[in-house]
Each structure stands twice: as C-alpha cells, then as structure tokens.
C-alpha cells in the first residue's frame, strides 16, 4: 500500500514538474519552428564599446529551426540559429568591407555564424505562453567553436487572426542577449585595432512559424 502511494505521489510530482517546464497552450506534442524570414524582419545585433568608439551592427539574414515538446521544453529543446557573415552591416560601407575581409571575420572562408543548443540548464515559467530558459550552446564564428551560456525568453503564440498578419501557423518569439570574446574565436583586431572591443554584446530578436 505504501509503495503504491509513493508511486502515485512521484507520478503527480513528475507530471507537475514536467508541466511547469513547458507551455500551457493549445498545441501538443513536438513542434518545429523555422526562423527563415524573406521579409527581413528577424534580426540579430551586436555592439562593441571601447574608449574610442561604440560600433553597432545588425543582420537580418537569419535562418534555422528550433523544436521542442510543448509540455516539456526543458528536456526536449534543440535547434540551431545562424546568420550569414556577409550580411552584417554597421552603417559604414568601408567598415563592413573590413569586417568581411580575410584578416577579420573572413566571410568568404567562413560564410556562416551560428549557435547550436546543447542543453537546457534551467527553465522559469513567466506565463502560460512564456518561458525563460538558460542554455548552454555552441557558438561558431571564424571557423572556431566555443560553448557559451545564453539566457533567452521564449513566447508561444497560438495561431490567430492577429498572428496571421505576420505569418501563418503558431509563432515562437525568441529574445536573447549574451556575450562573446572575439579572441576566443581567433579574431585579434588585426585591422580595426582598439576601435573594436574584444567583448561583443549580441542580441537576438526573432519570430518563427511552425507552418513552413
């Protein structure tokens, strides 16, 4: 009898723990979202701050997919997001050419910058359709891979007349901010010198659809 009660209690705790680590939305099961947006509304940003300059850059050439079980995001979240190296723009054409050059990011040899999810280290439920997730993922830049921590907010929007004005299907919004050190990726300020910092702040603001 006691064994049966323990099993029952464990099952209840497991259910609520798993449920709290996922979304409470209409969809069920595994959902996959694509972030390819031909209209260029998805965006990644980077910021470099030194004593001489603040350099802000953007890319709207975002692609990739993310998938997860709606009720158990913590244990099922996986995917990769990438941008094309040549798509980064800073507002100054000459500086953009320098960034793409072989002595800097070398866009011809390394045309893609990406982040691949390795594991979820924590989930906080902010609302029925919103989670904050702490991740460890592999960042790929300049031909070098390093694991970095990332905190992201995931917002799940059921398909509606409002969401259809953006894309068909359920939508997933991803907002994240994190930092990388260029020197850890073999980028050593060979051209831009002290006008670009080693520490770069990166932001992600993207929306994906499960109908693609």
CATH number for 75 = 2.40.128.110
User: 77: closest CA among 21, 25, 127, 138?
Assistant: 21
**pLDDT surpasses 70 at 19:** no
Q: How far is CA 58 from the centre of its chain?
A: 15
Distance CA 42, CA 38 (A): 9
Asked if pLDDT for residue 202 goes beyond 50, the answer is yes
Helix (H, G, I), strand (E, B) or coil at 38: coil
Q: Inform me whether the pLDDT recorded for 37 exceeds 70.
A: yes
Q: Indicate the number of domains in the chain.
A: 1
Q: Looking at per-residue confidence, does 144 or 7 come out higher?
A: 144
Supply the range of the domain harboring residue 20.
2-209
Q: How confident is the model at residue 196 (pLDDT cuts 50, 70, 90)?
A: confident
In this prediction, residue 103 carries a pLDDT of 84
- In the predicted model, is pLDDT for residue 109 greater than 60? yes
Within a 13 Å sphere around the CA of 10, how many CA atoms are in the beta-carbon half?
6
Count helices and strands in the chain by DSSP H and E runs:
4, 10
Q: Over range 37-43, report the average pLDDT.
A: 94
Structure confidence at residue 146 (pLDDT): 98
Look at residue 5 and tell me whether its pLDDT is greater than 80. Answer: no
Per residue in 159-188, pLDDT (tens digit) is 999 999 999 999 999 999 999 999 999 997
Checking if the pLDDT of 13 tops 80, the result is no
The reported pTM is 0.87
Query: Which tokens belong to 201?
Result: 């702040």
Q: What's the pLDDT band for 2 if we cut at 50, 70, 90?
A: low
Distance CA 162, CA 170 (A): 11
Query: pLDDT tens digits for 44-81?
Result: 999 999 887 899 999 999 999 999 999 999 999 999 99
Q: Judge whether residue 201 has pLDDT over 80.
A: yes
- For residue 91, is pLDDT > 50? yes
Q: Is the pLDDT of residue 9 over 70?
A: no
Structure tokens at 55: 């350099």
Task: Provide the token pair at 52.
Answer: 């001489």
Contacts of 92 (CB under 8 A, 6+ apart): none
Residue 132 reports pLDDT greater than 50: yes
Q: What is the mean pLDDT of the chain?
A: 90
């Amino acid at each position: 009898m006691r064994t049966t009660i323990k099993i029952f209690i464990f099952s209840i705790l497991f259910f609520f723990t798993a449920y709290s680590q996922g979304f409470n939305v209409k969809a069920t099961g595994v959902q996959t979202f694509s972030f390819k947006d031909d209209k260029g509304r998805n965006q990644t940003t980077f910021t470099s701050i030194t004593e001489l300059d603040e350099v802000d850059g953007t890319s709207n050439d975002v692609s990739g997919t993310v998938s997860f079980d709606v009720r158990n995001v913590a244990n099922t979240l996986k995917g990769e997001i990438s941008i094309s190296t040549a798509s980064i723009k800073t507002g100054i054409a000459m500086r953009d050419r320098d960034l793409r050059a072989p002595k800097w990011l070398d866009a011809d040899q390394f045309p893609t910058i990406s982040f691949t999810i390795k594991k979820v280290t924590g989930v906080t439920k902010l609302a029925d359709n919103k989670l904050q997730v702490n991740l460890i993922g592999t960042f790929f830049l300049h031909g070098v891979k390093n694991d970095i921590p990332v905190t992201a907010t995931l917002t799940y929007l059921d398909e509606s007349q409002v969401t259809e004005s953006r894309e068909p299907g359920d939508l997933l919004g991803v907002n994240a901010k994190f930092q990388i050190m260029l020197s850890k990726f073999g980028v050593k300020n060979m051209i831009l010198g002290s006008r670009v910092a080693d520490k770069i702040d990166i932001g992600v603001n993207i929306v994906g659809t499960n109908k693609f």
